[in-house]
Structure 1
Amino acid sequence: MSTYSEQAKAVYDFIGTLSKENPKIAEGFGAMHHATAEDKALTAKQKELIALGIAISIRCEGCIACHVKAAIETGASQEEIVETIGVSVVMGGGPSIVYGDKAYKAMKEML
């Protein structure tokens, strides 16, 4: 089993591969990501926590790894990530507990 850091790296590596194999898709995805990454009405940290909550709710382990990493990089604390997991559990029920655990383990690994 790979670490969450390795999973995040694999996602980023595949984006690099996609950039070569299907550049228009990668460019479009990159443009959307960059358009939402700036601090505006919401900070980059708040947006990463929202993205993490969505990743937990839709049960995407690679997304969880990437957004835990990005949330930490934008200054999210353990308390903020744990609270985000809690909101995801409220919205997603039992499956979000399972994937919230993955987010918690990713956070503990990456902090």
Structure 2
Amino acid sequence: MSSFDHQTLTRDINHALRPFRQSQSAAMQGFAQLAQASMAEGAISAKNKELIALAIGVTQRCSGCIGFHTKALQKLGATRQELEEMLGIAVYMGGGPALMYAAETLDAWDKLNPPTQSA
């Protein structure tokens, strides 16, 4: 299980990237536009796009991705059941390493999620 909390991790990542956002503003603006366009509601819902993004984060073993996309899913009203079904697919596709990050994701969900939404 992870030895950090994802709320602090995502805050630290944002803080660490602040100078990079300034020195590489055009590239970072382009990345932000790409993210915004990619995650916008369309034929695939924004919630399903976040589930896909989190699945990729799990299979690519990215703790920062887990923090950011778990929080986004909670804001979009995802349920724990949706999260767990997605994690099942991620583990199927990513094997044992994805299972370890699935555990991290479930921990992040519980720690980031208000108690009234965890069902």
Global fold match (TM > 0.5) = yes
Contact 1:48 1:70 in 2 (8 A): yes
Aligned residue for 1:93, secondary structure, equals helix
Q: TM-score, normalised by structure 2?
A: 0.87
Q: Please give the alpha-carbon distance, in whole angstroms, between the structure 2 residues aligned to 1:12 and 1:90.
A: 31
How many residue pairs get aligned? The number is 111
Q: Please give the alpha-carbon distance, in whole angstroms, between the structure 1 residues aligned to 2:51 and 2:17.
A: 21
For 2:100, the equivalent position in structure 1 comes to: 98
Q: TM-score, normalised by structure 1?
A: 0.92
Match of 2:47 among 45, 48, 58: 45
Unaligned runs of at least 5 residues, structure 1: none
Q: Please give the alpha-carbon distance, in whole angstroms, between the structure 2 residues aligned to 1:96 and 1:90.
A: 8
Runs of 4 or more, structure 1, over 2 Å off, are 10-18
Q: Please give the alpha-carbon distance, in whole angstroms, between the structure 1 residues aligned to 2:30 and 2:36.
A: 10
| RMSD after superposition | 1.2
Moved more, 87-96 or 8-17: 8-17
For 2:27, the equivalent position in structure 1 comes to: 25
Contact 1:15 1:26 in 2 (8 A): no
Unaligned runs of at least 5 residues, structure 2: 114-119
